[in-house]
């Protein structure tokens, strides 16, 4: 082995070690009940961890991950004002055509990058629960890729255990994100705009957000394995049955709005010339009362109520036709 090959291997090993340490620190901090700034710390550390992971991968593949300008005979590497070479940030790593990261995992990481930019500029409150599905996906994705790219021995799951809880996991549905007024407006806006750019399939992919439905389970007999969480395959009859029941509950609990309420909401948004007649014309043109569209439901067999998703459609219509309604 040449001196250069040994140097490449040494740097790759160091990057991989730093990556694993940052990921472990991120999860341990997030699971620490004594830390209040856990989500913000988790996001920053996981971004560092993923960056080192991809640097290690590029190093092993001999892909240059430093910024440079190609001169006639040699490369001129970009440097900071203190003389250090500039390495690719995570987003640049994801944009590299030879990046090994799949699209949905990249969507998750791009979301985390955007979230980090927002929390750098404004204090946040209680985003732990609201974004935990995306944090969980980021963690699982990392463990999947470090084993895939560098071998099973590098997995970090053996260093972590399930976090014990001092309270039960409530079966009551979480409030819709837009109802959480404690979130800074910049973060609410970022989340909505980012999700709006994703297709339904991308949004539902577990590599973007890992969502689990918890159902209390009792042991049928003494001596059974007593794991607090038991996973079943998503395409199993049991999972299919649970998901169907959950869908019914979820639909039932959705906030519902009458047409007059929607018109009033549009007036609050500044679209004062939007009327009940305009609303009727809009839902008729979009066949919005077709149950397959999921925009609303019939209540008590005769009164049609609209879901929040329809309000978003109305708001978009008003925004696109601002001159007519403002």
29-43, 236-250, 266-280: which has the highest mean pLDDT?
266-280
Q: What is the pLDDT of residues 291-305, one digit of tens each?
A: 778 788 887 667 888
- pLDDT at 213 exceeding the cut of 80: no
| pTM listed for this prediction | 0.65
pLDDT in tens, 79-129: 998 999 999 999 999 999 999 999 999 999 999 999 888 877 665 556 666
Burial pattern 280-293, b for ≥16 Cβ within 10 A else e, equals eebbeeeebeeeee
List C-alpha distances in Å: 63 to 47, 86, 88, 147, 238.
20, 15, 11, 20, 46
pLDDT digit string (tens) for 30-45? Answer: 888 788 788 888 999 9
Q: HSE (CB half, 13 Å, CA atoms) of 100?
A: 20
Which two structure tokens, joined as six digits, stand for 199?
Answer: 């297709």
Confidence of residue 223 (pLDDT cuts 50, 70, 90): low
pLDDT > 70: percent of the chain: 73
What is the DSSP pairing of strand 75-77 with strand 68-70? Answer: antiparallel
Give per-residue pLDDT as tens, 162-199: 565 555 544 444 444 344 445 667 777 788 788 888 88
- Are 207 and 102 within 8 A, CB to CB? yes
Output the pLDDT for position 242.
59
The span from the CA of 218 to the CA of 243, in Å, is 19
Distance CA 111, CA 117 (A): 10
Count Cβ neighbours within 10 Å for each residue of 185-217 and write b for 16 or more, e otherwise.
eebbebbeeeeeeeeeeeeebbbbbbeeeeeee
pLDDT at residue 249, rounded to an integer: 44
Q: Rounded to 5 degrees, what angle do the CA atoms 140, 103, 23 make?
A: 30
The whole-chain average pLDDT of the chain stands at 81
What count of residues does the chain have?
326
Q: How far apart are CA 220 and CA 136, in angstroms?
A: 30
Determine the pLDDT at residue 34: 81
List the one residue out of 44, 5, 8 whose CA is nearest residue 23: 44
3-state helix, strand, coil in the chain (%, to 5): 55, 5, 40
Over residues 311-319, the mean pLDDT reads 92
């Amino acid at each position: 082995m040449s001196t250069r090959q040994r140097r490449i291997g040494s740097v790759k090993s160091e990057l991989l070690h730093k990556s694993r340490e940052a990921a472990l620190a991120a999860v341990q901090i997030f699971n620490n009940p004594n830390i209040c700034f856990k989500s913000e710390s988790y996001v920053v550390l996981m971004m560092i961890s993923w960056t080192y992971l991809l640097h290690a991968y590029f190093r092993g593949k001999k892909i240059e991950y430093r910024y440079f300008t190609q001169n006639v005979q040699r490369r001129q590497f970009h440097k900071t004002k203190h003389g250090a070479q500039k390495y690719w940030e995570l987003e640049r790593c994801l944009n590299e055509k030879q990046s090994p990261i799949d699209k949905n995992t990249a969507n998750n990481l791009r979301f985390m990058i955007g979230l980090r930019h927002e929390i750098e500029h404004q204090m946040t409150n209680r985003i732990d629960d609201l974004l935990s599905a995306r944090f969980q996906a980021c963690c699982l994705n990392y463990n999947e890729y470090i084993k895939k790219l560098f071998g099973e021995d590098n997995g970090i799951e053996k260093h972590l255990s399930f976090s014990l809880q001092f309270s039960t996991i409530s079966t009551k549905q979480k409030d819709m994100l837009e109802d959480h007024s404690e979130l800074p407006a910049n973060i609410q806006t970022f989340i909505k705009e980012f999700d709006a750019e994703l297709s339904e399939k991308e949004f539902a992919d577990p590599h973007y957000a890992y969502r689990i439905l918890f159902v209390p389970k009792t042991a049928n007999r003494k001596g059974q394995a007593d794991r607090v969480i038991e996973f079943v395959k998503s395409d199993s009859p049991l999972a299919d049955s649970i998901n169907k029941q959950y869908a019914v509950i979820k639909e039932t609990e959705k906030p519902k709005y009458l047409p007059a309420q929607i018109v009033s909401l549009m007036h609050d948004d500044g679209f004062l010339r939007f009327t009940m007649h305009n609303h009727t014309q809009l839902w008729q043109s979009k066949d919005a009362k077709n149950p397959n569209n999921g925009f609303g439901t019939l209540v008590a067999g005769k009164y049609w109520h609209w879901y929040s998703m329809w309000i978003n459609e109305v708001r978009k219509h008003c925004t696109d036709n601002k001159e007519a309604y403002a």
